Amino acid sequence: MAPPKQEPIHRNTLGMINIDPLQTGGRLPKVARETLMEWADGYSICDYCTGRLDKIATPPVRDFIHGELPDFLGMDEVRVTNGAREAKFIVMHSLCKPGDKVVVDANAHYTTFLCAERCEAEAVIVPSSGRPDYRVDPSGYNEAIDEADPELAVLTWPDGKYGNLADAKEVARICRDKGVPLLLNGAYAVGRMPVDGNRIGCSFISASGHKSMASSGPIGLLGASGEYADLVFRTSKTYDKKEVELLGCTARGSTLMTMMASFPHVLERVGNWGAEVEKARWFSSRMEEMGMVQMGQKPHNHDLMFFETPPFYEISKTAKGGRYFLYRELKKRGIHGIKPGLTKFFKLSTFGVPEGDLEKVLNAFSEMIRSNG
């Protein structure tokens, strides 16, 4: 019997201007797209495997994981994981027993709390200053650690809500003084901006390939300092080559190949971070001229920005389609990335978006305000 005819499943946002914070740092350069096709078959990476992913010499996975990545992160040992959340879970599961405590910043990603829950550990929160800055003061770690006596501290750097970069070095100093390892969650940092674990002084770094390293996910990284590497990357008692927390092998296919193919591009763009910050600040000031209010650190230090948008909320009260008007108007203009239904506030990212495209976004906003004002 002939197989049923089937059309490819199409993606209808391709070609649009994309300002979705989840997506701006995960787009593949051309060479990575080609690599993806070449390695698309399942387990394609395992042709010459001798028992462990990070030891594969052909393709050059070993050199990438044991050579380039430790240099890149400033950490003694690095492994690939299936995402930032998996990296965080590996750390927590290695360090925490049920009932233990983990100190976490108030702006932490939901997956940090889920990791703790899965380990049956309790998350103790370091508060933020609240609206409008939502700043996490390093001294909060002092108090939280004294109070909770935790096995681990986590700093989200930057956080995924406001794009705030807390003083990581100072948080690391406090944690070190108190003998508590610090996990720096760099899901929105590693692959966008320079991150040097050595200089910061953290014990772990988690990273997200599909969010910030131009990789076709799911893929992430876990970096560990020498002091903790043996613990988190410990090998099995029954299968002595296999690392237990990694369940032997993690990103075993095309996802890793795209990360490797994109790496030169990632190195280059990290060197261009200063210009990305300038662009974000310029965009923020143009938004504020229109009556939006940027939350979080100001001037801002990251491309992820949260805006309160009172002009759009006003329009939504009478607009056709109510609060969905904004999404629809943007879609009409070929702009993607603001969540449908939001008008009081939203976040967006300017990372890697050409200035001309950002100008189009700003013009779209200003047109909507003018034609409804």
Ligand X SMILES: *Cc1c(COP(=O)(O)O)cnc(C)c1O
Binding site for ligand X (CB under 6 A): 83-85, 109, 111, 156, 160, 185, 187-188, 208, 211, 220
Backbone angles phi, psi at 242, to 5 degrees: -90, 135
Query: Least distance (Å) from ligand X to the CB of residue 127?
Result: 18
Query: Least distance (Å) from ligand X to the CB of residue 158?
Result: 8
Closer to ligand X at the Cβ: 83 or 319? 83
Closer to ligand X at the Cβ: 88 or 365? 88
Query: Least distance (Å) from ligand X to the CB of residue 332?
Result: 29
DSSP classification of residue 5: P
Query: Least distance (Å) from ligand X to the CB of residue 156?
Result: 5
Distance, in Å, from the CA atom of 159 to the CA atom of 147, rounded to the nearest integer, reads 23
Query: Least distance (Å) from ligand X to the CB of residue 243?
Result: 19
DSSP classification of residue 235: B
Cα torsion 359, 361, 363, 366 to 10°: value is -140
Query: Least distance (Å) from ligand X to the CB of residue 47?
Result: 27
Q: Cα 68 to the chain's mean position, in Å?
A: 20
Closer to ligand X at the Cβ: 138 or 186? 186
Closer to ligand X at the Cβ: 73 or 364? 73
Query: Least distance (Å) from ligand X to the CB of residue 300?
Result: 16
DSSP string computed for 237-271: SSSTTSBGGGTS-SS-SHHHHHHHHHHHHHHHHHT
Strands 77-81 and 220-224: antiparallel
Query: Exposure string (b/e) for 267-284, b if CB count within 10 Å is 16 or more?
Result: eebbeebeebbebbbebb
Closer to ligand X at the Cβ: 81 or 316? 81
Distance, in Å, from the CA atom of 307 to the CA atom of 347, rounded to the nearest integer, reads 6
Closer to ligand X at the Cβ: 232 or 368? 232
Cα torsion 210, 213, 215, 218 to 10°: value is -30
210 HSE (CA, 13 A, CB side):
13
Closer to ligand X at the Cβ: 109 or 269? 109
